[in-house]
Amino acid sequence: MTVPTDRSFTSSHEWLKIEGDVATLGITHFAVNELTDITFVEMKPAGESVSAGDPVGEVESVKATSDVYAPVGGEIIEVNDALSDDPSLLNSDPYGKGWLIKIKMSGGQGDGLMDAAAYSAAYDG
Amino acid sequence: MWGWGCGEPERRSHCATNLVFGGAPGSGQRFLHGGGRQLDDVDVALAKRQQNHAPRMPHHNRGPGALHMRKDTFHRPMRGLRAIDESAQVLVQFHKSIRNGLARVKCKAPCFEHLCRCADLMPQAGIARALQPGIDREHPHGVRFYGLRGAGCSRTLSGRTRKIKGTVMTTTAPESQLTHSPLHEWHVQHGARMVDFVGWALPICYDWPETFGGGGGIIEEHKQVRASGGVFDVSHMGRIDVKGRHARRLLERMVSRRISDMTEGQCRYALVLNERGGVRDDVLVYRFDDSEFMVVCNGANREKILAHTDAIKAQGTANGALDACKIHDKTRDTAMVAVQGPKVMDLIAKVSSEVPTLKRYRFVEKNMLIMKLLVSRTGYTGENGVEVILPAKVVSMAMKMLLKDAGPDTNAIVKPCGLGARDTLRLEAGMPLYGHELDEDTDALASGLNFAITLDKDQDERGEDAIGLAALRSIQQAGGPKQHLVGLILEGKRTARQGMAVRAGDKTIGRITSGCLSPTLGQSIAMAYVDVAHATPNETVQVDFGRDRTIEATTTALPFYKST
């Protein structure tokens, strides 16, 4: 799967799409592929404040459980409820319907983020 | 401690099974920080006074594997013992003070086993597996830990200690160093996602090609096997011939069930025990005739079982020598394929009229064109099916023949399935997996595999006691094991992972050994060892998921699933 160029990436395989002061967070196709079939997603609820680097939820697959971290700080304003009914959306569409949360950013736009080219070169090449 | 992003030590993530995610060849290695795989995060306690006496390790000893110390907590590489376990490609370096009993390593069971294996390879290092398993309460999941310390020293590390964090990793195992199954090309052609499994490159699952209608993945492969059929490459499993005048008595000494009363063409599931009654491995013994047998063991234990077999042969027993037998590892010369599912016999009936009439745990040798096949009515999925052993050179051709009539299309009777589905299938079927339900430190009686243990087999006319049975008889006489293996059904959809604590109220009563979200039942299922007082069905217990979260579970008899 091609890595979309309209967003940034972390070395821990989250993606971040920033529109105005709202950042949408998900995990990459590479991460989903490593995890195999996703069976459970639980994110912190809307209204919670998070700092950059905080864990914001957990993703479970047949094989492993993994934390998801927020690369930016702010307030969680929306959680993708569709994932609790159908976690496999993360497998089929990690960059689209499989988004995890939206954060209204209060600080900067995050350090150490990679663009699509750098992320592809490092992990998805 | 495994999962994506495992390279970051602060990331909490853990693996459900022995299966290791190495990623696709070519990409995974970078993901793994230059190769190797992480076995465990460990805590090392060192005696204070050793601190200033540890000279730098010579440069050539600094490998990429080893007890990698995090830079922020330990700025010098560990020195001292260096051992390489060839079979698992684990490199371990211990601080010299561990040898002197002045340090200890805390880690989880699978890592501990690898470390012990390394220690066994280096007996001169004098490392003992001495500490009792305990519960690490500081860990978010209260994981069970094991300790290593120097031999002949007091149990506890006294005096002032300094604690450091480390990571035990396997050595760099680039794709080129992994053992390829004879079916490697076939896997790649069928969209396999390959992983490093005990040093072998094997498919964890497939992205089925369009000729099979696409799809695939662990859950879909699991359902394919329950509904119709799947084919698994299990060539990594050890296949060891034991032949000769003393072969029968050697196996009688080695395994937990009678060999003498087996008939030709029969295979028998049995345990290889250690002296304490713990499990070295679980195996299938095939009997060809009175002086010709084969043992099929777990891939991870092949070297260990080979060494153990050699040791028994060399030692003999009180009833006489055992040296008139030949032990030959034919794993690499052969392939092994499991064909499992309710419809697979229909498919096999097209090429053989005899195989579908085989009774369970019977086998037959067939010559087919230029192929010599050994077909047994056995499996590890809870479904009807066979396992086939055949020469490595002809396996690709055999697969083509098998799948020729199976489709290939969306409704193919048999589709390729990976190790991931094999694990969830065996879990639903309540079958134990070495490293999870079975290990060297859990006595075999607790596993509930009573059918596989003949405690009084020395009483038989031609009997010969097996290693470990005396220890089990003592445990039985002292009132039986303190824990039993049970099934758990959890509320909700979260998956219990190996090592999580099981509680009743505020008391810890057991530990999870395996868990998954059952694709067949749609429920979260797990196996766990719990205190006998709670080991009856319909007990309510709690599974500790860490971070102050527990999930209610109900005990149930195994298996979770039985084919109709």
Concatenating the DSSP letter of every residue in B456-505 gives TGGGSTT--PPTTHHHHHHHHHTTS-SEEEEEEEESSSPPP-TT-EEEET
Angle among Cα B12, B18, B24 to the nearest 5 degrees reads: 80
**What confidence score (pLDDT) does residue B213 get?**
85
pLDDT band at B374 (very low <50, low <70, confident <90, very high): very high
Share of chain B above pLDDT 70, in %: 67
Q: Is the ipTM of this complex over 0.85?
A: yes
- d(Cα B422, Cα B420) in Å, to the nearest integer? 5
- Residue A125 included in any domain: no
- Domain-embedded: residue A69: yes
Q: What is the pLDDT of residue A53?
A: 84
CA-based nearest residue in chain B for residue A55: B11
A89, pLDDT greater than 50: yes
* A6 min Cα distance to partner chain B (Å): 22
What's the CA gap between B14 and B30, in Å, rounded?
19
pLDDT tens track for B159-179: 566 665 555 554 444 566 688
User: Do A35 and B495 make contact, defined as CB atoms within 8 angstroms?
Assistant: no
Residue B108: the pLDDT is: 60
pLDDT of residue B548: 84
Which pLDDT belongs to residue B25? 26
Of A12, A30, A125, the CB nearest to B8: A12
| B193 interface with A at CB cutoff 8 Å | yes
| Eight-class DSSP state of A120 | I
Q: Give domain status of residue A93, yes or no.
A: yes
DSSP class of B392: G
Which residue range(s) make up the domain with A42? 8-109
Task: Please write the tens of the pLDDT for every residue from B425-456.
Answer: 999 999 999 989 999 999 999 999 999 999 98
Residue B486 — very low, low, confident or very high, per pLDDT cuts 50/70/90? very high
Which stretch of A94-103, B273-282, B403-412 has the lowest confidence by average pLDDT?
A: B403-412
The pLDDT assigned to B42 comes to 61
CA distance B325 to A24: 67
Q: Using an 8 Å Cβ cutoff, are A25 and A102 in contact?
A: yes
Chain A window 58-77: which residues touch B at a Cβ cutoff of 8 Å? Answer: 60, 62-67, 69
Whether the Cβ atoms of residue B71 and residue B96 lie closer than 8 Å to each other: no
Contact B560, B488 (CB under 8 A): no
Reduced to 3 states (helix: H, G, I; strand: E, B; else coil), residue A83 is helix
In a domain, A50, yes or no: yes
Q: How far is A78 from chain B (nearest CA, A)?
A: 22
E strand or H helix that includes residue B232? strand B230-233
CA–CA separation, B517 vs B524, rounded Å? 4
CATH number of the domain to which A62 belongs: 2.40.50.100
pLDDT for position A122: 80
The pLDDT, as a whole number, for residue B460 is: 64
C-alpha B369/C-alpha B353 separation (Å) is: 16
Residue A81 belongs to a domain:
yes
Residue B261 has pLDDT above 70, yes or no: yes
Using alpha carbons, select from B532, B531, B535, B499 the residue that is nearest to residue B515.
B499
> Is residue A116 situated within a structural domain?
no
Give the pLDDT confidence score for residue A109 in this predicted structure. Answer: 67
pLDDT at B8 over 80: no
Look at residue B293 in the predicted model and tell me its pLDDT: 98
Give the mean model confidence (pLDDT) for residues B481-488.
97
Per-residue model confidence (pLDDT) at position B112: 64
Domain count, chain A: 1
Q: Answer yes or no: are the C-beta atoms of B262 and B362 closer than 8 Å.
A: no
Q: What 8-state DSSP symbol labels residue B380?
A: S
Q: How confident is the model at residue B34 (pLDDT cuts 50, 70, 90)?
A: very low
How does the average pLDDT of chain B come out, rounded?
Answer: 77
Q: How many residues does chain A have?
A: 125
Write down the residue that tokens 């050890």 correspond to: B238
Residue A57 lies in a domain: yes
Considering the domain boundaries, does residue A59 fall inside one? yes
